[in-house]
Structure formats: structure tokens, C-alpha cells
Amino acid sequence: MSEAPRRSARNAGKPAAAAAAAPKPAAKPAATKRKADTDADGEKKPKAKSPGVLKVGDPLPALTLKTDEGKDISTADLSDAVIFTGVSRYPKANTGGCTTQGKLFRDTHDEFVAAKYAVYGLSNDSPTSLANWKAKQNFPYTLISDPQRELIKHLTGAADKTRRSHFVVKAGKLAMSELSVKPAESAPASLAFVQNN
């Protein structure tokens, strides 16, 4: 006859099943967190530098972007231009402030043309989003899609956000730059500049 397994004094009054300790789950290895500023080897990555804001007199960088029609447009094509929310640049299509700004450029578009300037809207929205906004608001000017904020970075110095602004480009060089403007002031200020310079 075999003897029952020996029980400790601590477990003497408990049923045998309770005395058997449940196996502990295997410990998971600690997850190593990789910070966004390190590469696959854990080495520190150099931070992406903002190209810096263009100054009046600087030429536009050589870039090719897409229009609201999905066509390529080069910054060389923006030789005599007003850009809102900049060459006109706006933070986001189809929002209240941007629509106000866009409508004022629409309503004064003929005056810009008379001053021999083209008007462009610039944002990081997709060409499709811009095309829908343009059709809805009946904008007569071209909207430019800059999803990677390539031109926006050069115009504003900000790689991660779009400030409502406007710019005038004359003979391929920045002639006027106003950052963080109110929607209602953007078109009149741009128009006054092109009519007087």
C-alpha cells in the first residue's frame, strides 16, 4: 500500500485540490519599446529638419504637386500668383473659415485676373476632396493638393500643421507673405498688394 503524499502544516486542513498550486503562466518577455526617434537598431535617428520659411525675395522651390483635377502642376507654373491658405494656402477644405476665405477669393477673382495674377488654393487635402469642395463652392481657380506638405513647409516653416495664410509670388519669387491671417482679411489684403505692386 502506498502512502499519501506528505502535506505541510499550512495545508493540513485544506482539501488536496486546493493545496495544489495552479501552475503560474510563463512570464512574457518584457516588450521593448522602440521610440519613434530611433531606427531598427535602436540608434537615434536624425530629426527631420523643416526647410525653413521662405523669405520675401526667395524663389519657390522646384516641386511638382497635383491639382484638384489630378493633373501635375509645377511651382514653376506659379510665376505670377496669389496663393491662399496661401500661393493661397488654407488649413482644410470644406471648413467654415476656409470656405469664407475661398469664397472671398472667388468673389474677387476677376480683379486678381485684371491685375495679371492667377489665384491658387493650397492645402494638404486630396485632389478628390479639393475637387468636391471646388464644385460645391463654384471656385473659378485651381486648388493644389500638397499631402506631404512640401510647399506648405517652405511657405510657412511648419511641417505638421497648416496655418491660414496668403502669399504673392511675382516672377517666381515670393513677393508677400502673411501667416496666420483671418479668413475675411486674406483676399482683400492680397488684392491690395497685387494692385499696388
- Model pLDDT for residues 143-166, shown as the tens digit of each residue: 999 999 999 999 988 777 767 889
- Model pLDDT for residues 89-118, shown as the tens digit of each residue: 444 555 567 888 899 999 999 999 999 999
CB atoms within 10 A of CB 174: 21
pTM for the full predicted model: 0.69
Give the active site residues: 98
Q: Which residues pair with 64 in a beta bridge?
A: 74
* Domain positions in the chain: 64-196
Q: What is the CATH code of the structural domain delimited by 64-196?
A: 3.40.30.10
Q: How much is the mean pLDDT over the chain?
A: 79
Q: Are 179 and 101 spatial neighbours (Cβ–Cβ below 8 Å)?
A: no
pLDDT score of 183: 87
